[in-house]
Amino acid sequence: MRITGVATAFPPNRYSQQEIYAALGRNWSGKLEKPQVLERLHSRVGVAHRNLALTIPEYEHMTTWGQANDAWIRVAEELGEKALCRALHRAGISAAELDALFFVSVTGISSPSIDARLVNRMKLSPQIKRVPIFGLGCVAGAAGIARAADYVKAYPDHNAALLSVELCSLTWQRDDMSVANLISSGLFGDGAAAVVVSGRNNAQHGPRVLATRSVFYPDTQDVMGWNVSEKGFRIVLSPDVPRMVHENLRNDVDAFLGEYDLKRSDIGSWIMHTGGPKVLEATEQALELPDGALDPSWKCLSETGNMSSASVLVVLEQIFHHQRPEPGTLSILAAMGPGFCAELVLLLW
């Protein structure tokens, strides 16, 4: 089984960090005890530009969770179709040849889910197997690839796709003055990404998925996630996230690789979720990576922000199309997220 197609799609509304900060500053002027805190937090998240689901003036007229979620459904359909069409084209298969669709998001809800709406919109097979997944957050990009690989391992004549759509800006809370919400307003961006995984009887190109690993850390549910209120999703973002990475990732990766008689030094490419500067620094330190090993992740963080589950897929696309390793190179693709948990994928180029 191989990853045969990777593609992204972004809303057309692209802004610099300074433009977004200025707009949020106008909204929160008079509400923040120390307005300079917002500027300081936004300047430290490593983000230069982000794409937003809506234009900045449109957010000012959105006052309810229902309005935000309606916008999420509309934009998710548009971006989801673009990302999935591009990934299928790059994989060399038609929409009718897609046998399973895994859809992940944590920034909105709908029933029927976005994947069902895309079956109609894209004329996908009426027999397609749909698996909508909510709640995995940042880890869902890696987890979705793993679940798609599980599927095609069982059905080697099939093609499966993972689609991630995250519109984080539609979750920002105007009356939430918590540090977590201020940080998230500076860190998270919007976009979609799709990955096609093809069974061994269909795959002609792309990295092989050799193995996957899921790791759950008991009693850590308060590290990251949402508190759901009448006004929508309120971010839970503990300062313990970098510590969780630093304390656990090395042992998890070593145990995973050890099962295949491999070491970290055997890995030639690291495809890591763009969690933020402190998370990336903790990852570099925990895994004792050489200088530049996470440059693709740092670059994607700067250009698109943290897009939750889509982020690691944006990094994968960057490497897949612009920095592809030499044949025979091993890669680890990884992300961590609510639960708290980690997902690891071992690839061979």
Local confidence band at 43 (pLDDT 50, 70, 90 cut-offs): confident
Residue range 251-308, pLDDT digits in tens? 999 999 999 999 999 999 999 999 999 999 999 999 999 999 999 999 999 999 999 9
pLDDT at 301: 97
Question: For residues 227 and 65, is the Cβ–Cβ distance under 8 A?
Answer: no
Q: What is the reported pLDDT for 25?
A: 83
Give the Cα separation of 116 and 128 in Å (integer): 10
What average pLDDT does this structure show over 190-199?
97
Supply the residues annotated as catalytic.
138
% of the chain surpassing 90 pLDDT:
81
Q: Are 338 and 137 in contact (CB under 8 A)?
A: yes
Q: What is the mean pLDDT of residues 47-57?
A: 97
For domain 208-348, say whether CATH 3.40.47.10 is its number: yes
Q: Which CATH superfamily is domain 2-198 in?
A: Thiolase/Chalcone synthase (3.40.47.10)
Query: Does residue 210 register a pLDDT over 90?
Result: yes
- The domain limits of the chain are 2-198, 208-348
The neighbouring-strand residues paired with 237 are 224
Distance CA 310, CA 169 (A): 14
Average pLDDT (302-326) is 96
More confident residue, 23 or 141: 141
Reported as a pLDDT band with limits 50, 70 and 90, residue 3 is: very high
pLDDT tens readout for residues 132-183: 999 999 999 999 999 999 999 999 999 999 999 999 999 988 888 788 888 8
Strands 100-105 and 129-134: parallel
Q: Do domains 2-198 and 208-348 have the same CATH topology?
A: yes
Percent of residues, the chain, with pLDDT higher than 70: 99
Instruction: Find out whether 189 and 45 touch, Cβ atoms under 8 Å.
Output: no
Residue 201 pLDDT level (bands cut at 50, 70, 90) = low
Q: Does residue 323 register a pLDDT over 90?
A: yes
Task: Give the chain's mean pLDDT.
Answer: 94
Contact (CB, 8 A) for 193 and 3: no
The per-residue pLDDT for 203 is 61
Tokens 């308060």 belong to residue: 222
